A = this chain, B = another copy of it.
Amino acid sequence: MFIGVDIGGTSIKVGLVSKSGSLKAKESFPVVKGEDQKVTIEKLGDFILCLAKENKLNVSEIEGIGIGCPGAINSEKGTCDSSPNLKWSSLPVVDIIKNKTGVRKVRISNDANVAALGEALFGAGKKYNSSIFITLGTGVGGGVVIDRKLFEGNEGKGTEIGHSVIVVGGEPCGCGRKGCFEAYASATALIRLTKEVMKKNPKSYMWHYVHGDIDQVDGKTAFESSKAMDKAALEVVDTYCMYLAEGMLNYMNIFRPNAIILGGGICGQKEYLTSRLEKYVRSYHFGFKSCPEVEILIASLGNDAGIIGAASLVM
């Protein structure tokens, strides 16, 4: 049995995962703000031992512990070099967990990369050799799997998928640049675009959808209103899908995946979203005729991708 750990900004989730990627048990504990970083990781070690015990598992039966952590992770050295959200730095996570648990095989990687590995090996991408996972949330994150192995770039710090500029001088991004993919393809960007178009179209059905309150706009407003054939809503959906597809095409030309897996709330739109993206992507699919075809898929592991992906780091 394998342990998968998904470290988040507010809680740390720990799960027991089988060789075939199925989640056998899952528990979590809160991250205490201001707590010494080393203490938090030692707590995690204890928590792993408790979870194993509760599930009648000896330490010797734990084949490995994999950890997904936000921030800049050095996966070779097993350290969290810097995690702005958690306010961690130069933290030897792997060594602490090894010492605390006695388990020898412990690995760590960036949380988004780990989720990409989970979806690639045991989720939507399991039929494909190489895939890119893109989550459309508050920001845009994700990871790249080539030949069923995680590709992390130099020092394990690459594939910052949200932070490639697709519109030089465009919308400001949290990273300090302007025009990042994240600033056009995140749920936040969709909401911004929806509001912009609503303000220009006071008769749009979108106003009806939010009961006249623009603060109620969310990632569904434009998509759902476009299904009622509202022209302004269709404009939002088409524009959003165009930007998303342009970013996807960029990564197709860089990595040549067999599949792109989309995650995040917007993916509730399923085929209504993917059919639009497919049409755009097929029209502009560059490259020589013998480059791999790319399937556009919806993530299937949901919130468990992180735990399952983390466990698969040590399989």
Q: Which residues of A contact B (CB under 8 A)?
A: 71-72, 74, 81-84, 89, 129-130, 146-147, 151, 153-155, 157-161, 163-168, 175-177, 184, 242-243, 246, 249-250, 253-258, 284, 286-292
Contact = CB atoms under 8 A, between A and B. Distances in A.
A165 B250 contact: yes
Contacts of A147: 154
The 10 closest A-B pairs by CB, nearest first: A72-B288, A81-B290, A130-B154, A82-B288, A175-B286, A164-B250, A160-B253, A154-B256, A158-B256, A153-B256
A165 B249 contact: yes
A43 to B, nearest CB: 24
A292 B155 contact: yes
Contacts of A249: 165, 177
Interface of A is mostly: loop
A246 B166 CA distance: 10
A70 to B, nearest CB: 10
A77 to B, nearest CB: 11
Contacts of A175: 286-287
- Interface centre among A175, A246, A290, by most chain B C-beta atoms within 10 angstroms, is A290
A89 to B, nearest CB: 8
14 contacts: A72-B291, A147-B154, A153-B255, A155-B256, A155-B292, A158-B254, A158-B256, A160-B286, A165-B166, A166-B166, A166-B167, A168-B243, A168-B246, A175-B287
A40 to B, nearest CB: 19
A153 B157 contact: no
B291 A157 contact: yes
A239 to B, nearest CB: 10
Contact of A168 (B166, B256, B289, B290): B166
Contacts of A167: 166-168
Nearest to A247: B165
Contact of A72 (B129, B246, B287): B287
